[in-house]
Amino acid sequence: MTLVLTAHGSADLRSAANARAVARRVARMRPEVDVRVAFCEHNSPGLVEVLNGCPGAVVVTPLLLADAYHARVDIPGQIASCVASHRVCQADVLGEDDRLVAVLRQRVTELGVSLLDDTLGVLVVAIGSSNAVANAHTAEVAPRLLTGTRWTAATTAFATRPEPSLAESVKGLRRRGARRVVIAPWFLAPGRVPDRVQRFARGAGIAMAAPLGAHRLVAETVLDRFDQAAAQRVAA
């Protein structure tokens, strides 16, 4: 069975490089699985191209955090248009998995932040979606990030949505007692939107953590989604 790790794609080459790094880690962790990379747009190879070249059963495993447009509309549409769509199934997105929240917490501590710092407020910044349900799920990350810490508060802002703005969210954390604020980006990879958030952080004098990247727990979550989809296919 083939695992096609499918990323959104970006004009920023760092994003595609991260997708390929995740795929390499997944392949090392599961050498018996044929792991391939595909992109919905911007980068090559495209998803349909990859699917048309895959023999046997395929699980399209989205390298996406939110269950929004690309997972619900774009990827299913591209699967339907490939020549062997009957051999293809789609796994769930990575979502707000506890392992990914743990990686985000680690990224914050890599800034030199102590888990016991009770003066700290954390602003989780995500891409944002026109899907309100997807945004509501993403907003669950911030309170879960506080688990095992003494951080004062955490809240979520969406980089591509008008409200609340990043500046308003920082003010909100300070009103809740945070004397120091850091940004925890709920992004898998560097890119144009994370760069925009970084520019805000620099202008506001706020430290910003690294994205989730190709961490082992990201690859582990990918394999978990793949296994779930593969098992359901076999059971059907």
Owner of token pair 């582990």: 220
Structure confidence at residue 149 (pLDDT): 98
Cross-strand partners of 121? 153, 181
How far is it, in rounded angstroms, from Cα 121 to Cα 100?
19
How far is it, in rounded angstroms, from Cα 145 to Cα 99?
11
Structure confidence at residue 236 (pLDDT): 64
Structure confidence at residue 135 (pLDDT): 93
- Residues 150, 115: contact at Cβ < 8 Å? yes
C-alpha 67 chain-centroid distance: 10
The torsion angles phi and psi of 77, rounded to 5 degrees, stand at: -65, -40
Cβ-based neighbours of 34, under 8 Å, separated by 6 or more: 1, 2, 3, 54
Low-confidence ranges of the chain (pLDDT < 50): none
Which domains does the chain possess? Answer: 2-95+214-235 (3.40.50.1400), 98-204 (3.40.50.1400)
Structure confidence at residue 164 (pLDDT): 83
Closest Cα partner for 161 from 191, 139, 142, 188?
Answer: 139
How far is it, in rounded angstroms, from Cα 54 to Cα 72?
22
Structure confidence at residue 29 (pLDDT): 98
